Amino acid sequence: MKVLIVLTSHDELGDTGVKTGFWLEELAAPYYRFKEAGAQITLASPKGGQPPLDPKSNEPGFQTDDTRRFEADPEATEALANTVRLDSVSAGDFDAVFYPGGHGPLWDLAEDTVSARLIETTLRSGKPVGLVCHAPGVLRHTVNEDGTPLVAGRQVTGFANSEEEAVQLTDIVPFLVEDELTKLGGVYSKAGDWQPYVLKDGLLITGQNPASSAPAADALIELVGKGTV
C-alpha cells in the first residue's frame, strides 16, 4: 500500500502575524496507523521541503503519544523535512491520499488547482481520499466529471463552526469549513466539539477534528484493504 500525505505550506493566520501550519496530531496519528498497516508513505506539500508546523499543536496540552513518538523518530522527521513538491507527484503512483488539517490548508491547498486535480483523479480512479479537521475545506473547488461540486449530496464533516468559535478564529479564517461544505451542497453533520467523528461516503472520508485523525486513517486503510483500489 502506497499512501500520499499532503501537507500545507502556508504559515500565517491571515494578516495577524500569528504562525500557523499543519496540526501535528493530524499528521502523527495517521502516519503511524499507515506505518503499522505496512504502507509506504510519501509526504508532499505545495512548496516542498519542510512544511510549517502550527506551533500551538506542539504545546504540552496538545501533545499525544503519537506526536511525541513522531518528534523522536528520525525517519519521520527526515521525511517531514524533505516533502516532495505536490506538482511532482502522480495520483497513479498511490493507493490512497490523506490530508491532515491545521489552519494552513484553508489558505493554500483550498485554492490549489494541483491539489484539486489530485483529489478528483484519485477518486475517479477508484481510490480513497481522506481529509480531517480543516482539510475538508480543501474540497471547495473540487468537482465531479459533470462540473458539479464534488461534495454535493455527499455525507461530509469537518471542523465545526462551534469549534472555530472556541479557538476564536472565526473572523480570521478565509472561510468556515462547515459553512463551505454546506454551501457546496454537502450533507454536513458533526458530533460534539472535539469528539471523534468520521464519515465515509463511497471513497471519500472526512473527519471533524484532531481527535478524528486516527479513525479517519483507519477508515482509509479499511477501504484499501477491501480491494477498492
Judged against a pLDDT cut of 70, whether residue 107 lies above it is answered with yes
Provide, rounded to the nearest whole percent, the portion of the chain with pLDDT above 70.
99
Task: Dig out the grid coordinates for 124 from the structure.
Answer: 475517479
Residues 127, 202: Cα–Cα separation, whole Å: 10
Count CA within 13 A, CB hemisphere, residue 169.
Answer: 23
pLDDT at 225: 87
pLDDT at 227: 58
pLDDT digits (tens, 9 = 90+) for 4-55: 999 999 999 999 999 999 999 999 999 999 999 999 999 999 999 999 999 9
pTM, entire model: 0.97
Judged against a pLDDT cut of 80, whether residue 222 lies above it is answered with yes
